[in-house]
Each structure stands twice: as structure tokens, then as C-alpha cells.
Amino acid sequence: MPSHRPCWGMGFAALFLALIFTGRAAFAETVEAKLPSGIVADASFHAGKAGMPALLLVHGFLQTRSAPPLSRLAETLSDAGYTVLSPTLSLGISRRSHSLACEAVHTHTLEGEASEISFWVDWLVRKHYPNIVLIGHSTGSKSILFYLQKTPNPAVRKAVLASLVPDNGTDIDREKAHRMLKAQAKGKEDLQRFSMGYCRNNYMSTPYAYLSYAVYDADRTLGLLDKAKVPVEIILGGADTLMEKGWPQKALKHGASITLIKSAGHFFDGPQEFDFADAVEAQLKSLRPARQP
């Protein structure tokens, strides 16, 4: 059941705290790590209070860790004492620091993103954080789901997936991509123009890379929920236009706990930003005490 808790008061309190502790966010450090692919990825890391779970924030489609709503959420959670690791998914680019345009060359895959999530989870584990909560937004949420269906690190205790929506392509594009994929050898594929997320017919990608995301339509996404090996909390914006009708109900049916923030859009911007943070923190507080390593 999606929880419709009134969270206005908490929202304002979070905002107040965010203002007070804005300076703390500055203490966050940037960490770089060389991925197995050789690509150098970086992340913002803020060590929180001991005993509090470490949070791995995964940003949305083609974004960086600086993109809302997770950038502000990271600050809020850091200020709340959580250890927060906000990596920027490389999307195949070392030290990527900017969001990637739709027209850029997209050879990155959903699997690649899951691998990077896995890399950073392991990084946290190696930093001795036994209780890790994965927080994703939009496609980041899907990447977490994709990671959770495999063999997630045991330190991962929970996943909070914001704006998990199934809009990752069209059937026509998927069919086209499949056709092309069959016709071309892997590694020698031509770039093709697809629709993906907010990229409307301008997403330049190889069919393989495209399909890595696009195959996860609504049903397959819901199927990933089923396969998730840790509890999954879903936070949705009541006014998210990308969300198809009846999506929360469908997600509920697949065992996910859903928090619906009324009037919130896909990015929880505006006053709903605080509601979103409150909702996340509420999910984190509901987390049972962490196991000590």
C-alpha cells in the first residue's frame, strides 16, 4: 500500500536542517575509482555517523550525481548523519561530470550501470559499511532493480526507488533495435536514433545498448521487483506525467511498498522536494538496526 502520510511539517523541518547544515555538505569528498573497464569513475562521498546506514544514491537517466532530486537529497541525508555515496555513473566516460545529451554516443548499457552500482556497493563494503541502502531515482531505480535481481552484496539492506517508471522506449524502437541487432555484428553496430526516456527520437545508441534499457518495459520492470532480493520501497510523485495510469497499483501487486507524494512530479521539485526527503528518511528510519560487521 502506498503510504500517504502528511509530511509537510517534516518537509519544512528538513528544509530548515538543510539550511543549517549546508556547510556540512561541503565536507563531502570526491572519490575516484577505476572501474574494471578501465574507466575512471568518481563519486561524492560523505561519511556519516557510525551506526547509521550508508546510502548509495544512483542518479537518473543520463544525469550526474549533481542532478536533482538526489543531489539535494544527498545533502539532506548527509546532514541527517547518514553516510552518503553519490557516484556519477560513467556511461562509458571517464570522470564524466556532465549530464549526457540525448544526441551523444550512447554505448552504455543497463548492465554496465548495474556493474558500477555493484562496484560502489563493494566500495562501501570495503569501507566497512555493513548496512547499505540503495536509493535510486528514475532510471537509476531501474538500474538498482537490475542489480538487485542478480546477486547483490549482502550489505545491501534495502532499496528506495524514487520515480520508478517503465518509460524506457517504444515498441517500434525496440523492434527496430532487435532487427538491427540481428543484422549487425556486435561491436560493429551502427548508431541509431531511438526514443528513450525524455529523449524523443534523438537517443543515439547502438541497438544493443539501447535494448539493454528498452527491453525493460512495464511488465519486465515489475518482474524485476519480483526478483529483488532486498526490500524495495518505491516513492512516486502523484503528478509524475511519465507514470502510466495504474502503475502504483501494479507495483504494489509485485510486493513493493509505495509512498506516493501528492502533487509531486517526476523530480519532486518545489515544495515536494522536502516531502521526498522526508519520505526517504522515513524509509531509512524504518530500517531495522544494522548488523555490525
Residues in touch with another protein (CB under 8 A):
39, 92-98, 100-101, 103-105, 107, 191, 204
- In whole angstroms, what is the distance from residue 256 CA to residue 268 CA? 20
Please report how close the Cβ of residue 168 comes to another protein at its closest, in angstroms.
21
> 107 vs 283, which CB is nearer to another protein?
107
Which helix (H) or strand (E) covers residue 135, if one does? strand 132-137
Q: Got the DSSP string for 74-106?
A: HHHHHHTT-EEEEEPP-TT-TT--SPPPTTS-B
> 3 vs 94, which CB is nearer to another protein?
94
Cβ–Cβ < 8 Å for 64, 116: no
Please report how close the Cβ of residue 209 comes to another protein at its closest, in angstroms.
11
- Tabulate helix, strand, coil % of the chain (nearest 5): 35, 20, 45
Beta carbons within 8 Å of 89's beta carbon, 6+ residues apart: 41, 58, 59, 96, 108, 113, 116, 140, 143
Please report how close the Cβ of residue 96 comes to another protein at its closest, in angstroms.
4
> 95 vs 179, which CB is nearer to another protein?
95
Neighbours of 149 (CB within 10 A): 16
> 10 vs 181, which CB is nearer to another protein?
181
Taking the alpha carbons at both ends of the chain, their separation in whole angstroms is: 33
* Residue reference for cell 544514491: 57
> 26 vs 101, which CB is nearer to another protein?
101
Beta carbons within 8 Å of 100's beta carbon, 6+ residues apart: 62, 91, 93, 106
> 17 vs 40, which CB is nearer to another protein?
40
Please report how close the Cβ of residue 93 comes to another protein at its closest, in angstroms.
4
